[in-house]
Structures are given as structure tokens and as C-alpha cells.
Chains A and B, each alone.
Chain A
Amino acid sequence: MAENCIRVQNLLKSYKDLTAVNNISFDVRKGEILGILGPNGSGKTTTLKSILGLIEFDSGSVEVNNLSIKKQRNDILKSVGAVLEGARNIYWHLTPMENLAYFAGIRGLSKRDIAERAEYLLDSLKLSDVANKEVRQFSAGMKQKCALACSFIHDPSILLLDEPTLGLDVEITRTIMTWLRHVVEKEGKTIVITSHNMDFVESICERILIIRKGEIVSHETVKSLKEKFSKKHFLIDLAEEPQSTLMDRISTLGEASLSDKTLRIELKTVESLIPLMKAIEESGVRMLNFRTVENDLEDIFLEVIKEGKQ
């Protein structure tokens, strides 16, 4: 098993009468992409900012590369990059090249030190053509890519991203996803991402941490989470709206609901499939289409959040 590079233990942060993060513990392994999911106000950003030492937590500990964030923050920051609140993290009146030079400079790296890396980042994020244009002229996606490049200019081993795809279109999201995958697979970086974009998280993260009201309600690999919570249900398109007698009859077979002329049913047992078909046939309603659907990460997320427990 890979070595841990971030260790959060019993992290607690509260403000007056609100507990933002309630005694949470988790590890991040070297070379993995960990996703942190949770509804608004669940404590995702507070957790990220605590790891970066931007928020002073009440109790617990955060260690990055075996260094304590409270005692050795400056050493930790040499190997950590972050994009918090997206494209606002960069200067819009500067060009991407100037932003890169500035954020390298405040880390003590000269333009000469970062020349090669800046070129690589601009090229790999498809920003070379606009390297000398003011960021304010860019689309949200390009600004976000520029912020990513800046957070990566000092070649950190760990990258923390808060909502990296918020408000971005599918194409840019895909570009960012491919790039992040590349830096993990080829450069061995570790990434922690908070996001609301379930497709993005599902396709990029190996493990997912689900937080609700400051508490971890699930911490598993995407695969095991899906295995545990995955449920099949059937969607049946009918030619006309069925009578309530049909709904009463099939509700004994499983959890059923009707939306327009589409019947959704989650059967108690597979054996109930034959009685279901029979009931529809006997009702005289013609069946147009029948398909099996597996619930996606969004359904699982909602279920986990609803239950508040694994």
C-alpha cells in the first residue's frame, strides 16, 4: 500500500454555535486522487483550508509529508499547491506568463528557475497561444486553467483543488480532468478535490470522502461505494397512464413511482419481475419500452447523505 502523504486526525473546527468540521480523520495516499463530496456548508472547504493552514482549527492534527501544519507550515507549503475559489485566485490584469512569474517569485523562484516549467504548463493546459494576453479577456475555463498552472508552477507534490470545475463547460472540464490524470499518472502527484460535479469525481477519483454536517459519512473507493449502494431499478414506458389499481397491485412487488407515463420500480426480488409483467399485461396498458437502470454516483451520494451513515 502506498505511503500516506496527508494525515488528518480528529480535526475539529467550530465557530460560535456552528461546528464546521466535527472530529474527522482520514489519510491521503501518495499518488492518489481523493474526492471530497458534501452538500454546501458540509465542511469540505474548511477541511482543505485546515490542511493548508489557512484556517486555525480548534483541535486535532494535520500532517503533510510527516510535517505538522501547526509547527512546520512553511516547509509544507514548499510541496503543496492549491486552487481555492477557482479563477479568482489569479490576477486578471496580468497575463498567464506574468501570473506564473509572480506566483513563482513570491515563492522565491526566479523567472529563470521556472522558464521550462512555465512553458510545459502553458503548453499542456493549452494556454501557449494566450500566454501574453490579459487574463481578464479569458473565458471562465481558461481562467481556471491559468489558476491551475499557477498553483503548479513550483512543482508541488500535492495539489488541493476546491471546486475546480464549478461553472465550467463539458469540454474544459474534460481537458482539466485529462490534465489532472496525467500529472498523477506520469508525475506521481497527489490530488485532493472537492466538487459537486459527480461525473467528474466519479471519473477521476479513486476514493471518495463524503462529508455531511462536518462529519464523514462515507470513506471508500468509488468501486466499493458503488458495490455497496448500487441498486438496479426498472424503467417502463407505457402507452398511456395506468389506473390506480395497477399501481396498488405492483406496489406490493417493490418501491414504485410514476412519472408521466414512465413507471419506475425497484423490485424486492428478481423473481417479482414475472408478476410485474403479468400485472401490466392484465391492466390492458401497452408497454412501449423496458430498461434496467443502475443508480449513479449522484444517486448514491444522495442516499448516503440522506441516511447520514454508511
Chain B
Amino acid sequence: MKLLTMLAVEGKMMLWSLKRYMFNTVAMVAVMFLIFMGMFWGIKTIGGSGVTGESLDSMLVGYILWVSAMLALGNTGTEILSESQRGTLEQLYLSPLGAHKIFFFRALVNIVFNFIIITIMLYLSMAATGRWMNVNLLYLYLMVLISTLSLVGVSFMMGGLGLIHKKISSVNGILSFGLIGLMLLPTYPLTPYAFLPFIAGAAAVRNSIVLGTSFPIWWYLFITANSLFYMIIGLIIFKKMEAKAKRLNKMNQY
């Protein structure tokens, strides 16, 4: 019950912050849409008639997945660092329920918020390109939730490292852009790339929506296990770094 209250208040925190920073949120969606349109027109111009509808669909879904990955990857690590720089981190550490739970719930709320962003982006982009796909939103949300959990784990690692080493924004940037390339790698049936975080889930979503490919249940179980693995590893590393930060008195950095 207490954990549900904590989850609910993280949801409220998201709404309060959105209300205060509404312009920022709208600007973020607008910039993402403009980037997509830039890519779309670029590909149309260079590829000409060689660009098929399928490859455009693939680009659109890939971009949506990359946006959700980027938002998930940047979230926890950035949140921990900004709390630390703001001076509120130590107050979160005074919660008897545990600060890592606060950040985990904050990440969950963030993923749900990302559903709204990617849905807006998806329909805006489909309207702008004139390519309408039959997207099962429930499947999309569920797969994004499951596969981005692995990135939340990675983000926890980054947050933990950030507590000690202060600056992680450049690493976050490299990881975010590295994901674009990694998402193109083949993962099914069980290539070595499938063991990387997020990649297998993203490929499954893309192939399922664009090509209508159906995957066996074990593949979805594998994707879930992959996410849980990175989530657990992320939390373990975060707790280790947190203990080190407490030893070195580095919880606050302002």
C-alpha cells in the first residue's frame, strides 16, 4: 500500500512538473517531430522512387522506438544527478521505503509518459507522411514497457556512476546515438546482439508492426528476461555506487 502511495505521488510529481514546464514538453515534442520530418524528407530526396513504403514505415517505427529508448535511457541517471545538484537527493534518501524505489517508480511513470509522447509522435508523423499503419497500440506499449526496462537498468548504472564521477551527460549522449546503429542489428533467432539491452525488443516491435511478423512465446520470454537481467544488474551497480558515495560523502554536489 505504501509503495502504491509512493508510485501515485511520483505520478503527481510528473503532472506538477509538466504543468510548470509545459512549454518545455511541447518544445521537446516539436523538435522530435521536426527531426523526424528532416530525416523523412532527406531519405525521400536521396532515395527518390527507390524508397519503398515499407522502408518508410520501418524508419517511422524505428524512430519512435529510438525516442522512447532515449527518454528511458536518459531518465534515471539524469534524475539522480539533477536531484544531487539541486540538493534534494539527501531528502529522498531519508525515505524509509528506499531511494532506489523512488527512482524506479519515477522511471515507470516516465515510461508511461513516454507512451503519450510516442503516440503523439506516431500519429503526427503518419499524418505528415501520409503513410498510415495499422498499429496495435496495446502491443506497442507493452513491448516498449518491457524492453525499455533494460535501459532503465542501464540508466541506474549511469546514475550510480554519476554519483561518484559527477558528469555522465556525454556518456548518455554516446549511448543514445549508439542505439540507432545497434537497433539495426539482427537479433532473431538468438544472435549475440540479442543479448544487448533493448535491441531484441525493438526489433520484435519493428518487425511485428511493419512486416506483420509473429514471434514465438519463448522469444518474448527471452526479451523479458533480458530486460530483467539489465534491470537487476543496474540496481546492483547503483546500490554499490550509492554505498561508495556514502563512504566518500558525495551524495550532494551543488
Tell whether, in the assembled complex, residue B2 and residue A90 are in contact, meaning their CB atoms are under 8 Å apart: no
How far, in whole Å, are A76 and B87 apart by their CA atoms in the complex?
22
How far, in whole Å, are A9 and B151 apart by their CA atoms in the complex?
43
Tell whether, in the assembled complex, residue A15 and residue B249 are in contact, meaning their CB atoms are under 8 Å apart: yes
A146 at interface (Cβ–Cβ under 8 A)?
A: no
Distance between B55 CB and nearest chain A CB, rounded to angstroms: 43
Tell whether, in the assembled complex, residue B87 and residue A89 are in contact, meaning their CB atoms are under 8 Å apart: yes
A10 at interface (Cβ–Cβ under 8 A)?
A: no
Tell whether, in the assembled complex, residue B87 and residue A102 are in contact, meaning their CB atoms are under 8 Å apart: no
The residue of chain B having its C-beta at the shortest distance from the C-beta of A136 within the complex is: B20
Contacting residue for A74 out of B90, B91, B96, B243, CB 8 A: B96
- Stretch in B4-12, B30-38, B207-215 touching the partner: B4-12
Q: Which residues of B contact A55 (CB under 8 A)?
A: 246-247, 249
Tell whether, in the assembled complex, residue A88 and residue B246 are in contact, meaning their CB atoms are under 8 Å apart: no
Contacting residue for B2 out of A15, A94, A108, A151, CB 8 A: A108
Whether A106 touches B92, Cβ cut-off 8 Å, given contacts A88-B86, A89-B87, is yes
Measuring CB to CB, which residues of chain B are less than 8 angstroms from any residue of chain A? 1-3, 5-6, 8-10, 12-13, 16-17, 20-21, 86-88, 90-98, 102, 243, 246-249, 251-252, 254
A52 at interface (Cβ–Cβ under 8 A)?
A: yes
**A-B contacts at CB below 8 angstroms, number:** 97
Tell whether, in the assembled complex, residue B97 and residue A85 are in contact, meaning their CB atoms are under 8 Å apart: no
Q: Which residues of B contact A109 (CB under 8 A)?
A: 5
The residue of chain A having its C-beta at the shortest distance from the C-beta of B15 within the complex is: A98
How far, in whole Å, are A82 and B252 apart by their CA atoms in the complex?
15
Chosen A-B contacts, 10 in total, with CB atoms closer than 8 Å, are A54-B90, A74-B98, A77-B95, A84-B91, A85-B252, A85-B254, A105-B8, A106-B102, A108-B6, A110-B5
Whether A105 touches B96, Cβ cut-off 8 Å, given contacts A89-B88, A134-B20, is no
Distance between B93 CB and nearest chain A CB, rounded to angstroms: 6
A49 at interface (Cβ–Cβ under 8 A)?
A: yes
Distance between A56 CB and nearest chain B CB, rounded to angstroms: 4
A234 at interface (Cβ–Cβ under 8 A)?
A: no
Q: Which residues of A contact B20 (CB under 8 A)?
A: 93-94, 134
Measuring CB to CB, which residues of chain A are less than 8 angstroms from any residue of chain B? 15, 20, 46, 49, 52-56, 74-75, 77-78, 80-82, 84-85, 88-91, 93-94, 98, 101-110, 134, 150-151
How far, in whole Å, are A98 and B12 apart by their CA atoms in the complex?
9
Tell whether, in the assembled complex, residue B9 and residue A54 are in contact, meaning their CB atoms are under 8 Å apart: no
Contact residues of B: prevailing secondary structure: helix
Tell whether, in the assembled complex, residue B12 and residue A108 are in contact, meaning their CB atoms are under 8 Å apart: no
How far, in whole Å, are A178 and B15 apart by their CA atoms in the complex?
36
How far, in whole Å, are A7 and B243 apart by their CA atoms in the complex?
23
Q: Which residues of A contact B91 (CB under 8 A)?
A: 82, 84, 89-90, 103, 150-151
Contacting residue for B97 out of A15, A89, A106, A151, CB 8 A: A106
Q: Which residues of A contact B90 (CB under 8 A)?
A: 49, 52, 54, 82, 84-85, 89
The residue of chain B having its C-beta at the shortest distance from the C-beta of A154 within the complex is: B96
How far, in whole Å, are A77 and B98 apart by their CA atoms in the complex?
10
Tell whether, in the assembled complex, residue A77 and residue B12 are in contact, meaning their CB atoms are under 8 Å apart: no
Q: Which residues of A contact B9 (CB under 8 A)?
A: 101-102, 104-106
Tell whether, in the assembled complex, residue A91 and residue B88 are in contact, meaning their CB atoms are under 8 Å apart: yes
How far, in whole Å, are A108 and B4 apart by their CA atoms in the complex?
8
Q: Which residues of A contact B5 (CB under 8 A)?
A: 105, 108-110
For the complex with contacts A75-B96, A78-B96, A93-B16, 9 further pairs of A-B residues with Cβ separation under 8 Å are: A56-B243, A82-B94, A85-B90, A85-B252, A89-B87, A90-B88, A98-B12, A103-B91, A107-B97
Identify which of B6, B10, B17, B249 gathers the most chain A CB atoms within 10 Å of its CB: B249
Distance between B27 CB and nearest chain A CB, rounded to angstroms: 17
How far, in whole Å, are A93 and B98 apart by their CA atoms in the complex?
24
Tell whether, in the assembled complex, residue A107 and residue B95 are in contact, meaning their CB atoms are under 8 Å apart: yes
Q: Which residues of B contact A46 (CB under 8 A)?
A: 249
Distance between B253 CB and nearest chain A CB, rounded to angstroms: 11
Q: Which residues of B contact A88 (CB under 8 A)?
A: 86-88, 254
How far, in whole Å, are A101 and B6 apart by their CA atoms in the complex?
10
Q: Which residues of A contact B12 (CB under 8 A)?
A: 98, 101-102, 105
Tell whether, in the assembled complex, residue A77 and residue B96 are in contact, meaning their CB atoms are under 8 Å apart: yes
The residue of chain A having its C-beta at the shortest distance from the C-beta of B83 within the complex is: A91
Contacting residue for B94 out of A20, A52, A85, A93, CB 8 A: A52
How far, in whole Å, are A77 and B99 apart by their CA atoms in the complex?
12
How far, in whole Å, are A94 and B91 apart by their CA atoms in the complex?
15
